[in-house]
Amino acid sequence: MEGFSAANITHHFTYTFYAMSSNQQNLSLLTNRAVAAAKSIASNYGIKVEDPEVLADAYSVRIHLKPAPIVARASTITSVLRDPIEPWLARELSVAQFLETRGVPVVAPSNLLPPIPHECDGLTVTFWCYAEPVSDPLPDSATVGKMLAELHVVLRDYPGDMPLLAPPLNDIPQGLDRLQQLGNILPGSDLKLLQNTFDRLLPQLTNPADPLQPLHGDAHAGNLIPTAKGLLWNDFEDTCIGPIAWDLINFDAEAIAAYPNPPEAAVVELYRQVRQLHAIVWVHALLPEFSAWAEPAKVMLDNLRDRIV
């Protein structure tokens, strides 16, 4: 496990989160609700679910609807900051469908149900083809960098509308508002630090100097699933338009070197600062619903304080 440092704190946040969530075994009440909702929707389309298996359980719940070759993803906690969640999920489905038609290696929406966000018991659920992993190790950095460049080429032709840098420009202000309303998560001095940091970075987010194009939005090796057919891109909920540097924030030097004509290091570092702020606000704002990341979130905030001082 990597330690938390200014250089790798976001890297740790992204990769360790997925490793932890995939190993959770005990279902919470919310998880049980998500499983029941997914089964109910599937049954409405004649899909028999005998042995649902929770694959991941954190900010959303992913369920393999065995024996059907379907993974349901129920938005449980993410929707607290992304309300309404439906446009995010509809955009994800649309992008994944587009990429599949262009021959991009991607986890596609299931063709056994309509490829739309479905509603049940107050939860929004999408349904995807089950992609069985064949190995645990993450792909090497050079492969990830090359595959992202190839993905970006195809994404440039995506015809649908996308918001500008949706993850930070939605989640940070929504999270800060929630922290203010809750009042008992962070002291006022920390809230002021987070708000001031966002205010400082905001002009560069709303008016980026670099060219814009459709992005994955949360590109990293953990979002490439190793299958018998090769690596498949997964999880496009954060898809948006923005400078390509946003999609490089989780990459190490080797991965960036494998990306043709990457942006300048200073630009990538700017967006890494944005991502760090994004992670700090996200985790703290959702601590009442998901407390497992309380300690890493504290380390991230301490790191930000140290940089300011």
User: pTM of the full predicted structure?
Assistant: 0.90
Angstrom distance (rounded) from CA 27 to CA 54: 8
Measured distance between the N- and C-terminal CA atoms of the chain, rounded to whole angstroms: 27
Interstrand relation of 123-129 and 118-120 (parallel, antiparallel or unpaired): antiparallel
| Residue 65 φ then ψ, to 5° | -85, 65
Cis peptide before 84 (omega within 30 of 0): yes
pLDDT at 241 over 90: yes
**129-180 residue pLDDT tens:** 999 999 878 899 999 999 999 999 999 999 999 999 999 999 999 999 999 9
CATH topology of domain 139-309: Aminoglycoside 3'-phosphotransferase; Chain: A, domain 2 (3.90.1200)
**181-239 residue pLDDT tens:** 999 999 999 999 999 999 999 999 999 999 999 999 999 999 999 999 999 999 999 99
Q: Residue 19: its pLDDT value, please?
A: 36
Angstrom distance (rounded) from CA 33 to CA 300: 32
- Identify the burial level of 25 via C-beta atoms within 10 angstroms of its C-beta, where 0-12 means exposed, 13-18 middle and 19 or more buried: exposed
8 Å CB contact between 195 and 137: no
Which pLDDT band holds residue 257 (cuts at 50, 70, 90)? very high
Rounded average pLDDT over 102-108:
98
Q: Residue 1: its pLDDT value, please?
A: 22
Going by C-alpha positions, the residue among 26, 4, 31 that lies closest to residue 15 is: 4
Rounded average pLDDT over 244-257:
98
Rounded average pLDDT over 87-105:
98
Question: Residue 109 carries which DSSP code?
Answer: B
Q: 20-130 and 139-309 share one CATH topology? A: no
What residue has token string 């932890």?
A: 20
Q: Which helix (H) or strand (E) holds 31?
A: helix 29-44
**9-64 residue pLDDT tens:** 444 444 334 334 433 433 489 999 999 999 999 999 999 999 999 999 999 999 99
- Identify the burial level of 88 via C-beta atoms within 10 angstroms of its C-beta, where 0-12 means exposed, 13-18 middle and 19 or more buried: buried
Q: Where are the domains of the chain?
A: 20-130, 139-309
pLDDT at 309 over 80: no
CATH topology of domain 20-130: Phosphorylase Kinase; domain 1 (3.30.200)
pLDDT at 3 over 80: no
Rounded average pLDDT over 238-251:
98
**49-75 residue pLDDT tens:** 999 999 999 999 999 999 999 999 999
